[in-house]
Structure 1
Amino acid sequence: MVRAGARAIEVLPRQLVPTNGAVRSGAVRHGGRVASGNATLYVADDEEHDQVAPPRRPSALTRALNQVGSLFALGLDTIRSTFRRPFAARELLDQFWFVVSVSWVPAMLVAIPFGAVIALQLGTLTVQVGAQSFTGAASVLAVVQQAAPIVTTLVIAGAGGAAICADLGARTIRDEIDAMKVTGVSPIQRLVVPRVLACMGAAVLLNGLVSVVGVLGGYFFNVVVQGGTPGAYLASFTALAQITDLYVGEIKALIFGFIAGVVAAYRGLNTRPGPKGVGDSVNQSVVITFLLLFFVNFVITTLYLQLFPGKGA
């Protein structure tokens, strides 16, 4: 019902009147609907507007679950698009070289103190309990299984992943991603897949480098600083270590590299408009990657220790 003092505004705009004076059939039909009262009218009151309930905003839990679901969906789409053709081999090589070039020096510099701290801490503990001969095995296994994959992927996420997120975020706010979709080019196959594979390959290769540097750093500090025996250090390592320890470290690096690449791509493709949106996405990608890495590392380590018990267990 139209109240007194209210203005009735027609939803359909008025038809243009032809210059020759003819009457358009659409104008006749529209006039008939208005005269019969079947036309939809919008009532606006100059003094008081009708109170319309705003749409309910999803709860924080719902938004979090939606984000998690979207992240998993992107990961599955990335795996599926990896086996499609055409494959962006040139883009993969460029991204791989970029990730390795910005990550290998920081990874080695971080691996040295990691190996040293583990060797010094375990060396002090084994001296207190009278088990100095097991220092080498404990420190090397800790570096190969735990420290090396974590350090490698943290550096990749902080250097290469942040750059990937910023690149995709800048493309998103410039509407390049939407333009690719309009032209029939899949952004996931063209942009996301090469970057994720580059992070995985770089993580596997750098994990081996970080493992060697960490083991050498632990050996140096244990033998030189704490006065350990080189022979006992190496003998305990070869006596208790097994080849599956190296395999689990490489598998961790492969999975962690996939997580770092997918999270960086997801935040880049869902960037809010403006430079601040790109900066927030980069920050969120690094933080989310760190949290996921430690959680997934706990799960993999638990499963490995249950399925492949160590020697003498």
Structure 2
Amino acid sequence: MPSRGGLIDARAIFTLLGRFYAMSLETFRQLFKRPFHTKEFIEQAWFIASVSLLPTLLVAIPFCVIIVFQINQLLAQIGAVDLAGAGAGLTVVREIGPLVSVLVVAGAGATAICADLGSRTIREEIDALITLGVNPIHRLVVPRVVASTVVALALNGLVTFFGLAGGFMFSVFVQDASPGLFVSNLNLLVGLPDLLTSLFKAAVFGMGAGLVACFIGLNVKGGSKGVGEAVNQTVVFSFMMLFFTNSVITAVFIQFAR
């Protein structure tokens, strides 16, 4: 990135943002162009899922348990620990599920996508595709973005299930909550709109992480060192975008859910 006195030039930032949005719009346009590269999509989806599945579970279970434990501590002080299911359903379904799943996708899958495309860029494979008349957005970016979106959706469901299961086990066997009341109160504070919002968040987060990874990977400079720096930038920019997007979606949902 161009810099001036150690500070990133504001004009360079807006230029990069413009190029990112241009690539994103081109990706959406190419998404409906045939043929869709199904084999590439399956390979990328399997790869992202394989590197993200175990870290997602290892992060989701203790994270959900800690949040449920803190909520139950507050409920126990007012003698309402049997409402633990309502608190667990609200936090896991609405926030923890999409955030945890896509943070792992951004940290594991997106970095792998960036490294792959970055390596192809410095080896001039992308330039070779363009010379041959092949659109790299259609051939490489679209399958990876769709794969990232689909895997994020799948992991969101997985995190929600294991998060609620872990919260149930911890609430019932450690904090003496009633198992029947825990299950019956799961939908006390959440409903179908919350579930749909959670799925929408996961899809948007996964798509965003894939777009960021592809954009940075296709714009790598500086050889192998540049690839390493691009991977680090992918993690940072993906997390920043995910938290900002989460705030916007949550604010809009709360506003219209009143």
TM-score tier by shorter-chain length is: over 0.9
Q: Provide the secondary structure at the position in 2 that maps to 1:240.
A: coil
Q: Provide the secondary structure at the position in 2 that maps to 1:237.
A: coil
Amino acid in structure 1 at the alignment position of 2:108: A
- 2:54 is equivalent to residue 105 of structure 1: yes
Q: Provide the secondary structure at the position in 1 that maps to 2:188.
A: helix
Contact 2:141 2:214 in 1 (8 A): yes
Amino acid in structure 1 at the alignment position of 2:81: Q
How far apart are 1:132 and its partner, in Å? 2.4
Q: 1:59-91: per-residue Cα shift (whole Å, max 9, x none)?
A: 621111111111111111111100012221111
Instruction: Give the equivalent residue in structure 2 for 1:52.
Output: none
TM-score normalised according to structure 1 size: 0.78
Q: 1:132-183: per-residue Cα shift (whole Å, max 9, x none)?
A: 2332111221111101101111111111111100000001001111111111
**Percent of residue pairs bearing the same amino acid type:** 46
- 2:21 is equivalent to residue 72 of structure 1: yes
Instruction: Give the equivalent residue in structure 2 for 1:199.
Output: 148
Amino acid in structure 2 at the alignment position of 1:182: T
Query: Greater Rg, structure 1 or structure 2?
Result: 1
Instruction: Give the equivalent residue in structure 1 for 2:161.
Output: 212
- 2:215 is equivalent to residue 283 of structure 1: no
CA distance in structure 1 between the aligned counterparts of 2:187 and 2:203, rounded to whole angstroms: 25
CA distance in structure 2 between the aligned counterparts of 1:184 and 1:275, rounded to whole angstroms: 26
- Which residue, 210, 216, 220 being the options, matches 1:267? 216
Amino acid in structure 2 at the alignment position of 1:296: T
Moved more, 156-165 or 237-246: 237-246
CA distance in structure 2 between the aligned counterparts of 1:167 and 1:241, rounded to whole angstroms: 40
Instruction: Give the equivalent residue in structure 2 for 1:147.
Output: 96
CA distance in structure 2 between the aligned counterparts of 1:87 and 1:241, rounded to whole angstroms: 37
CA distance in structure 2 between the aligned counterparts of 1:242 and 1:110, rounded to whole angstroms: 25
CA RMSD of aligned residues (A): 1.5
CA distance in structure 1 between the aligned counterparts of 2:80 and 2:177, rounded to whole angstroms: 12
Q: Provide the secondary structure at the position in 2 that maps to 1:238.
A: coil
Instruction: Give the equivalent residue in structure 2 for 1:128.
Output: 77
Q: Provide the secondary structure at the position in 1 that maps to 2:177.
A: coil
Instruction: Give the equivalent residue in structure 2 for 1:21.
Output: none
CA distance in structure 2 between the aligned counterparts of 1:84 and 1:70, rounded to whole angstroms: 21
How far apart are 1:306 and its partner, in Å? 1.2
Q: 1:84-137: per-residue Cα shift (whole Å, max 9, x none)?
A: 122211111111111111111111111101110111000001122343233211
- Which residue, 51, 68, 82 being the options, matches 1:119? 68
- Runs (4+) of structure 1 moved beyond 6 Å? 56-59
Count residues in correspondence: 254
Contact 2:105 2:152 in 1 (8 A): yes
Instruction: Give the equivalent residue in structure 2 for 1:83.
Output: 32
CA distance in structure 2 between the aligned counterparts of 1:60 and 1:263, rounded to whole angstroms: 20
- Which residue, 278, 287, 296 being the options, matches 2:245? 296
Gaps spanning 5+ residues in structure 2: where? none
Instruction: Give the equivalent residue in structure 2 for 1:13.
Output: none
